[in-house]
Each structure stands twice: as C-alpha cells, then as structure tokens.
C-alpha cells in the first residue's frame, strides 16, 4: 500500500490545467506543421500559420491558447495499491481546478444549465476514474471547449448499418459542425460498449497521440478511411474551404450487445489541450 | 498572400473594395458585444433610448475575453460563434453598423442586410485568442460593466488579422471554399 496525500493531487491538477491551456504539446505543433504543407488552399494555409503563430505566442507569453479555456475534464487512473489520504479525492480535484482557473487567469465557463448563472470558479470538474493495477496515480487534464463539444453525439445504430453507418454518422457530425468547432479538428469515435461507454470511449479516443493508429489493423485502416472522407468534404481550416479539415481520427472499440451498435463521436478543435502526470 | 490594411471608422468606399476570401489588417477601434449586450441594445431601442455608442460606421466584435493578467490590456480574445447574434444584426446594420467580426455562418437575413446597407462580416480565427490579443493596444469599458466578460468594451486595435467572410456583393467564403475543395 502506498499513501498519496491529496495535497499533491491538488497541486498536480492546478499545474496540469494551467500548463495544458498555455503550452500546446509538441505532437500538435508537429501536426499543424504537416497540415500547412498538406493544405492546398492559400487561405487555409494562412489560417494554419496563424494557429501555429498563436500557439507560439501563448507559450511565450503564458497566455491561454484560446479564450475558451474549457470545462475541466480530468481522467484519473488510480493504482489499486494506492491509499489516498487527506480530503475526498473529488474535492481535491475540484480545488486544483479552482486554483488553476484563478491563478492562471483562465476563463470560468461553467454554469447552471437553465438559469445560466456562472458557478464562478469553473467547478465542478468532469472526472472519469479508472482503478488499475499498480501503486501510481496518473492524472490527465483535458480542458475541453464548448464549440467543439457541441458537435458530439451518441447514436444507437442498428447492427446492420455496420462500418458504413459509423462512417456516415461521423461525416454527418463534421458537416453539421462546419466552421463552428474550429477546424482543423480531431475526431474521437467510440464504438460498442453501451450507450454511456461509447461516449466515454470517444472522449478517450481523443487522448491517443496524433498520428498513432489503433493497434488492430482493420480498425487502423477504418480510421484512415474516415479521415480521408472528412478531408474530402472541403470544409478546411476554419471552414473557409480546404483539404485539411481533420488532423486525425481515432477509434476505440469494445464489444457490445448482440442487438446494438452504439457509436459516439466527440470532436476536438485544433487547440488540442492535454497534459498528464504520474504521481 | 496580399493583406490589405484598413482603418475604422469604415466608410462605404472601404466596404466596396472588400471581397470574400481576402485577408485584412484592421486598425482603429472596435466594440465587443455578444449575447447579453445585444439583448440590452434591443431593450434600449424598444424603449426609444439611445444605444451606448453611436453604431454608424463602427464594427462589433463578438467576443468574451479571458481575464487580463496583471499588466496586460486584455486576455485571450478570440471570436465566439456569430450565429447566435443573427437575430440582432440586421437591425443594427440598418442603423449604420458597418462591420461585424466573429466566426461561423450568418443567416440569409444578415447577408441581405450586408448587401442592402453596404456592410461586411469578417472572420477572426477561432482559437487564436493569444495571437489576436497581440493586436489589442487599448481597452475601455463603454457599457454594461456588470456583464463581466460580456461587457461592451472599446478595443484599440493595430493590424488585427481578419478574413472577409461575407462581402456586400453576396459572396460567402464558407460556401465558395467548400465548393472549391469538395472532392
């Protein structure tokens, strides 16, 4: 049994959310560099150059990449040999988020669904926890903006719709989004599991590094097929027209019920903000 | 890519020269206003009251910035989705508003107003909040301070990078672009 005090979790969460909002990871910079080369539209190229320039300025000046610093999506993998001591884990994570959004001059974008009254401190965070073997705690911060999130969906497809059904579903959401999710986007697709698992899989799919393929060759090929179809829509950077609408597509799959084909699409904008730490 | 420098206040002759797909550097003053401020504008108009600023030849920027760190004029200030203000824009254009900056498609009514009154819709790059903030040299709250990030703020801008999305001739960069690159 290894003890981890929630004080270290609070400070880790605070650092991660500020870091994620300010410092775009090298993998995304590299993907944007490749996209400038690949993009055929002059306006599209110019837009991607602005995005790269923007991310460099954010990093140099310690400013948020985008003013929508998102809801605080937090994935926590807790080793089953860990004993968390201090306050309740969910409260510690919330406190870390609270501090990040205050001390990092991040925007508070969390409100009551109907009154729309802002909660004032960007809490409650959205926490997904998995218990895993081992004695470490891994925390992943994925601040998620509203613009891209609004073009996500879960559909309970009919099994006979198969791969084509999933592909149409993805293209539907990308087309519906158009300029609004701030292309170039990254698409997470969750297939199988249950209604709620497919949604979670689609968000976890966004954590796969750009350029990394699903370990199953047939699924990897399907990822590339969907990516190609998205880039043929012509939507392009910021929806101004172009050949790079998506930087990548990632699929995560699980077995599902014999009567179902649950599928979920979660869209991420170009400001793909993600940082992790292992405690 | 050739980039035109333009100045506020916008006059007809400037708007006539702008075509969808062009990139511009905007200099002068713009006014931030989004959902809540527009609602208040219309409440004022309905009551026969004056608007908080004279909109003739001015530009509204649909933006709710992140908090300004100490010593900075503004935080990250990228655009919010313009479509939510479509209900309000045509009337403001009829009252002399010459430009709007945001992201995302506008309605037919907005595009018609651009044609009828000679106005233009610009796109600021979504998610480029840090880059855009570099072009903001001054910031002054003009109205509705109680709205926090949704207050109307007069921003002094120098070489603010924008794309013309909808010009006064009916051209639409979103439509033209997707047509050109759809395979």
Alpha carbon distances (Å) from B101 to A202, B30, B37, B118 = 33, 9, 15, 15
- Predicted confidence at residue A27, as pLDDT, reads 96
Which of A47-56, A70-79, B148-157 bottoms out in mean pLDDT, i.e. has the lowest? B148-157
Establish if B74 touches chain A: CB-CB under 8 angstroms. no
Q: Quickly list H helices, B97-140.
A: 108-117, 129-133
ipTM of the shown complex: 0.89
User: For residue range A161-187, what is the model confidence (pLDDT) as tens digits?
Assistant: 999 999 999 999 999 999 999 999 999
Establish if B129 touches chain A: CB-CB under 8 angstroms. yes
Instruction: Output the pTM of the full model.
Output: 0.93
User: For residue range A139-161, what is the model confidence (pLDDT) as tens digits?
Assistant: 999 999 998 999 999 999 999 99
Structure tokens belonging to residue B117: 């009154």
**Stretch A262-272: mean pLDDT, rounded?**
97
Instruction: Name residues 144-163 of chain A within 8 A of B (Cβ).
Output: 145, 147
Dihedral angle sign, alpha carbons of residues B70, B73, B78, B83: positive
The burial class, CB within 10 Å (0-12 / 13-18 / 19+), for A87 is middle
Q: Per-10-residue mean pLDDT for chain B, 183 residues long?
A: 94 97 97 94 95 96 91 93 95 97 97 98 96 96 88 96 97 96 95
Among A53, A62, A63, beta carbon nearest to B133: A63
Specify the residue for token string 């090298």: A26
CA distance B1 to chain A (A): 7
- Predicted confidence at residue A117, as pLDDT, reads 86
Give the confidence band of A250 by pLDDT, cuts at 50, 70, 90.
very high
Q: Is B38 a catalytic residue?
A: yes
Is A241 within 8 Å of B128 when comparing Cβ atoms?
Answer: no
Nearest-angstrom CA–CA distance, A244 and A114: 37
Question: Is residue B57 a contact partner of residue B93, using CB atoms and an 8 Å limit?
Answer: no
pLDDT at A252 over 90: yes
pLDDT at A118 over 90: no
As a whole number, the mean pLDDT across chain A is 97
- Predicted confidence at residue B1, as pLDDT, reads 79
Looking at per-residue pLDDT, the higher value among B145 and A196 belongs to A196
Q: At what angle do helices A42-61 and A26-38 cross, to 10 degrees?
A: 160
For residue A70, the number of C-alpha atoms closer than 13 Å in the C-beta half-sphere is 27
pLDDT at A51 over 90: yes
User: For residue range A207-242, what is the model confidence (pLDDT) as tens digits?
Assistant: 999 999 999 999 999 999 999 999 999 999 999 999
Q: Kindly list the structural domains of chain B, giving each domain's residue range(s) and its CATH number in brackets, ordered by start.
A: 3-181 (3.20.130.10)
Of B34, B37, B38, B150, the catalytic one is B38
Sorted by where each begins, the domain ranges of chain A are 2-20+65-144, 147-272
Specify the residue for token string 């004080």: A7
Nearest-angstrom CA–CA distance, A98 and A220: 39
- Predicted confidence at residue A265, as pLDDT, reads 98
Neighbour tally for A99: CB within 10 Å:
18
């Amino acid at each position: 049994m290894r003890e981890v005090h929630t004080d270290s979790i609070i400070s880790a969460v605070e650092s991660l959310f500020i870091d994620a909002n300010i410092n775009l990871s090298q993998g995304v910079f590299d993907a944007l560099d490749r996209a400038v080369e690949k993009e055929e539209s002059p306006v599209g190229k110019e837009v991607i150059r602005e995005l790269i320039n923007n991310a460099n300025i954010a990093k140099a000046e310690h400013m948020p990449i985008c003013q929508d610093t998102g809801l605080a999506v937090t994935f926590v993998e807790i080793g089953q040999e860990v004993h968390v001591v201090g306050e309740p884990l969910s409260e510690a994570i919330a406190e870390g988020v609270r501090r990040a959004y205050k001390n990092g001059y991040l925007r508070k974008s969390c409100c009551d669904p109907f009154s729309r009254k802002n909660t004032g401190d960007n809490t409650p965070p959205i926490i997904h926890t998995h218990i895993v073997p081992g004695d470490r705690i891994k925390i992943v911060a994925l601040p998620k903006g509203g613009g891209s999130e609004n073009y996500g969906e879960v559909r309970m497809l009919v099994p006979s719709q198969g791969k084509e059904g999933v592909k149409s579903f993805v293209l539907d959401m990308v087309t519906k989004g158009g300029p609004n999710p701030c292309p170039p986007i990254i698409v997470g697709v969750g297939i199988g599991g249950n209604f709620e698992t497919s949604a979670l899989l689609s968000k976890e799919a966004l954590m796969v590094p750009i350029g990394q393929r699903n370990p199953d060759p047939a699924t990897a090929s399907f990822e590339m097929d969907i990516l190609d179809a998205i880039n043929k829509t012509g939507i392009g950077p910021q929806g101004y027209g172009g050949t790079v609408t998506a930087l990548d597509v990632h699929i995560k799959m699980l077995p599902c019920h014999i009567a179902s084909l649950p599928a979920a699409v979660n869209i991420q904008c170009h400001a793909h903000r993600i940082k992790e730490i292992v405690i | 890519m050739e980039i035109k420098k333009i100045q506020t206040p916008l006059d007809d002759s400037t708007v006539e020269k702008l075509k969808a797909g062009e990139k511009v550097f905007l200099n002068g003053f713009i006014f931030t206003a989004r959902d809540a401020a527009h609602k208040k504008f219309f409440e004022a108009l309905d009551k026969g009251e004056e608007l908080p600023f004279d909109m003739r030849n001015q530009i509204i920027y649909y933006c709710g910035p992140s908090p300004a760190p100490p010593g900075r004029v503004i935080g990250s200030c990228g655009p919010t989705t313009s479509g939510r203000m479509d209900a309000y824009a045509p009337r403001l254009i009829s009252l002399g508003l010459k430009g709007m900056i945001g992201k995302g498609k506008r309605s037919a009514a907005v595009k018609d107003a651009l044609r009828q009154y000679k106005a233009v819709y610009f796109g600021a790059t979504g998610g480029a909040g840090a880059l855009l903030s570099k072009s903001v040299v001054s910031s002054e709250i003009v109205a509705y301070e109680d709205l926090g990030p949704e207050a109307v703020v007069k921003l002094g801008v120098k070489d603010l990078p924008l794309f013309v999305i909808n010009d006064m001739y009916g051209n639409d960069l979103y439509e033209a672009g997707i047509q050109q690159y759809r395979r």
